[in-house]
């Protein structure tokens, strides 16, 4: 089989790139090679099935990695504009997170598939690309089971390592490395952060509204307000997800400091504790923070700060104990030991870095090969930033790839 443009990977960026390539050069034949039995599986899981497809407030500070995502996003049509071409109406919530009006990721995928059909893009599912090699007319692509396709141009949109059960286990990054293309350090991002199990003993299932500060070497690197959820060996929740990429840089020097009472000052908490001590002097230490925190968190804080039997009476508590508790509530610190598994990560930090691509998202080593989406070294925060990158980079790669082919065939 010979074709004009092969898009490797039928995810968010690959679908967009294929549509844009066809729109730019309608005479070109565009084929999506997808290893799974259908395209767009990951899109269905995004935003808990609602597809948080972009954000109204897109800024450089929301992206991390060597590739300057905002540069491509700023140069592309907005999500509303692009999606309106596919008949998808976008609405934003009060935090700026954009969703389809349908509230359904399946409706986004269905509309995108209709768009592919309208453009005449061919979907070739069950085709896992195992190798690419330059040939006389462009490239030869070989599938993992030995089928061969040749094409003039390639767009690699095969994603990263996050959620391997959705087709993304880094295969294409390994293929490219085998061809001499370098990749930046790869780490799970938008993911829970692991901590020592002993340090969160008793907190499994607890959710706490707090301010989280990520710090390393005594310096605060990032601060977020939100809900933290505890498991038996990790901290999760959107604000923690947004800090996972920092593990790539700081490793086990990374700490998470939680202010568990962000709306109260130290003196407010102290005054509260003195009132409670007067009221509940006969009660056990177990009950000291009842009313301020959920049961498990209340017991955890008293137990791990005072290190006394929880059956002792509240009346035995000293001024020093109170100061220690206040400090702990305002700064409950956890040392990070790692990120979660790829299965629990929503995105990949690392991948093919800025040095390997041109401004047009073309490979510097392999002319006629374009890259887009999560395979490139940029990752966004939680809140629609990663899908926005997938759409914008897909548009850029699709357009530039088609333009270069059009120029060649003139």
Query: Which of 39-47, 231-239, 256-264, 281-289 is the region at the interface with ligand FAD (rule: CB under 6 A)?
Result: 39-47
**Per-residue x/- mask for ligand FAD, residues 276 to 295, rule CB under 6 A?**
--------------------
* Residue count (the chain): 410
Per-residue burial over 197-217, b if 16 or more Cβ lie within 10 Å, else e, is eeebeebeebebebbbbbbbe
Q: Which of 76, 386, 396, 400 binds ligand FAD (CB under 6 A)?
A: 386
Q: Does 12 bind ligand FAD (CB under 6 A)?
A: yes
Q: Which of 31, 79, 157, 273 binds ligand FAD (CB under 6 A)?
A: 157
Residue 23 burial (C-beta neighbours within 10 Å; 0-12, 13-18, 19+): middle
Mention every residue, 6+ apart, whose C-beta is less than 8 A from residue 340. Answer: 188, 191, 192, 193, 194, 234, 236, 244
Q: Which of residues 227-286 bind ligand FAD (CB under 6 A)?
A: none
Task: Report, in Å, the least distance between residue 222 CB and ligand FAD.
Answer: 19
Indicate the residue among 299 and 376 with the shorter CB distance to ligand FAD: 376
Q: Which of residues 317-356 bind ligand FAD (CB under 6 A)?
A: 346-347
Q: Does 192 bind ligand FAD (CB under 6 A)?
A: no
Question: Which tokens go with 300?
Answer: 């955890």
Residue 54 parent element (H or E): strand 54-55
Handedness of CA 391, 396, 397, 399 (dihedral sign): positive
- Going along 78-179, which residue ranges are E strands? 90-92, 97-100, 122-125, 129-134, 139-143, 148-156
Indicate the residue among 239 and 306 with the shorter CB distance to ligand FAD: 239
Give the dihedral of Cα atoms 66, 68, 70, 71; nearest 10 deg.
180
* Nearest alpha-carbon partner for 5 in 116, 85, 122, 119: 122
Q: Which of 390, 401, 402, 405 binds ligand FAD (CB under 6 A)?
A: 390
Q: Does 11 bind ligand FAD (CB under 6 A)?
A: yes
Indicate the residue among 138 and 329 with the shorter CB distance to ligand FAD: 138
Distance CA 57, CA 41 (A): 27
Task: Report, in Å, the least distance between residue 17 CB and ligand FAD.
Answer: 9
* Nearest alpha-carbon partner for 406 in 137, 22, 52, 10: 22
Mention every residue, 6+ apart, whose C-beta is less than 8 A from residue 222. Answer: 213, 214, 242, 243, 246
Beta-bridged to residue 327, according to DSSP, are none
Q: Which of 123, 356, 374, 377 binds ligand FAD (CB under 6 A)?
A: 374
Q: Which of 129, 206, 349, 401 binds ligand FAD (CB under 6 A)?
A: 129
Indicate the residue among 162 and 314 with the shorter CB distance to ligand FAD: 162
Q: Which of 3, 4, 46, 228 binds ligand FAD (CB under 6 A)?
A: 46
Indicate the residue among 164 and 202 with the shorter CB distance to ligand FAD: 164
Q: Does 384 bind ligand FAD (CB under 6 A)?
A: yes
Q: Does 56 bind ligand FAD (CB under 6 A)?
A: no
Beta-bridged to residue 393, according to DSSP, are none
Distance CA 52, CA 380 (A): 13
**C-alpha angle 264/267/273, rounded to 5°?**
85
- In degrees rounded to 5, what are phi and psi of residue 71? -60, -40
Q: Does 90 bind ligand FAD (CB under 6 A)?
A: no
Q: Which of residues 160-189 bind ligand FAD (CB under 6 A)?
A: 162-163, 167-168, 171-172
Q: Does 159 bind ligand FAD (CB under 6 A)?
A: yes
Query: Which of 38-46, 114-122, 223-231, 328-336 is the region at the interface with ligand FAD (rule: CB under 6 A)?
Result: 38-46
Residue 70 parent element (H or E): helix 69-74
Residue with tokens 């093919």: 352
Q: Does 65 bind ligand FAD (CB under 6 A)?
A: no
Q: Does 33 bind ligand FAD (CB under 6 A)?
A: yes
Task: Report, in Å, the least distance between residue 75 CB and ligand FAD.
Answer: 18
Indicate the residue among 126 and 291 with the shorter CB distance to ligand FAD: 126
Indicate the residue among 326 and 345 with the shorter CB distance to ligand FAD: 345
The residue ranges that bind ligand FAD (CB under 6 A) are: 8-14, 33-36, 41-42, 45-47, 52, 128-129, 157-159, 162-163, 167-168, 171-172, 346-347, 373-374, 384-387, 390
């Amino acid at each position: 089989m010979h074709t004009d443009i092969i898009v490797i990977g039928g995810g968010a960026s690959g679908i967009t790139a294929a549509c844009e390539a066809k729109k730019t050069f309608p005479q070109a034949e565009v084929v999506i090679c997808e290893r799974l039995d259908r395209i767009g599986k990951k899109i269905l899981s995004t935003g808990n099935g609602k597809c948080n497809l972009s954000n109204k407030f897109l800024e450089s500070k929301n992206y991390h990695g060597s590739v300057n995502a905002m540069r491509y996003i700023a140069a592309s049509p907005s999500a509303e504009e692009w999606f309106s071409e596919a008949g998808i109406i976008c609405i934003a919530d009060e935090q700026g997170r954009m969703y389809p009006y349908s509230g359904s990721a399946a409706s986004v995928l269905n509309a995108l598939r209709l768009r592919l059909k309208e453009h005449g893009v061919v979907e070739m599912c069950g085709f896992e690309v195992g190798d690419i090699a330059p040939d006389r007319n462009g490239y030869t692509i070989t599938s993992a089971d030995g089928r061969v396709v040749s094409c003039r141009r390639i767009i690699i949109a095969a994603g990263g390592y996050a959620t391997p059960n959705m087709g993304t286990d880094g295969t294409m990054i390994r293929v490219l490395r085998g061809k001499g293309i370098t990749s930046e350090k790869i780490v799970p991002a938008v993911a829970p952060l692991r901590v020592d199990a002993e340090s969160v003993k008793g907190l499994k299932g607890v959710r706490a509204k707090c301010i989280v500060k990520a710090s390393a070497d005594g310096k605060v690197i990032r601060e977020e307000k939100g809900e933290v959820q505890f498991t038996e060996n990790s901290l999760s929740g959107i604000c923690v997800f947004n800090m996972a990429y920092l593990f790539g840089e700081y490793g086990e020097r990374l700490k998470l400091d939680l202010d568990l009472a962000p709306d109260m000052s130290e003196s407010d908490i102290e005054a509260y504790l003195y009132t409670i001590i007067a009221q509940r002097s006969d009660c056990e230490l177990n009950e000291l923070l009842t009313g301020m925190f959920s049961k498990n968190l209340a017991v955890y804080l008293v137990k791990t700060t005072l290190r006394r039997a929880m059956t002792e009476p509240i009346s035995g508590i000293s001024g020093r104990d109170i100061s220690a508790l206040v400090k702990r509530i305002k700064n409950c610190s956890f040392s990070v030991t790692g990120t979660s598994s790829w299965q629990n990560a929503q995105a990949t930090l690392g991948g093919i870095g800025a040095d390997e691509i041109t401004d047009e998202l073309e490979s510097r080593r392999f002319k006629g090969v374009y890259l887009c989406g999560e395979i490139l070294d940029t990752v966004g925060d939680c809140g629609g930033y990663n899908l926005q990158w997938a759409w914008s980079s897909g548009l850029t790669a699709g357009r530039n790839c088609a333009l270069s082919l059009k120029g060649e065939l003139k």
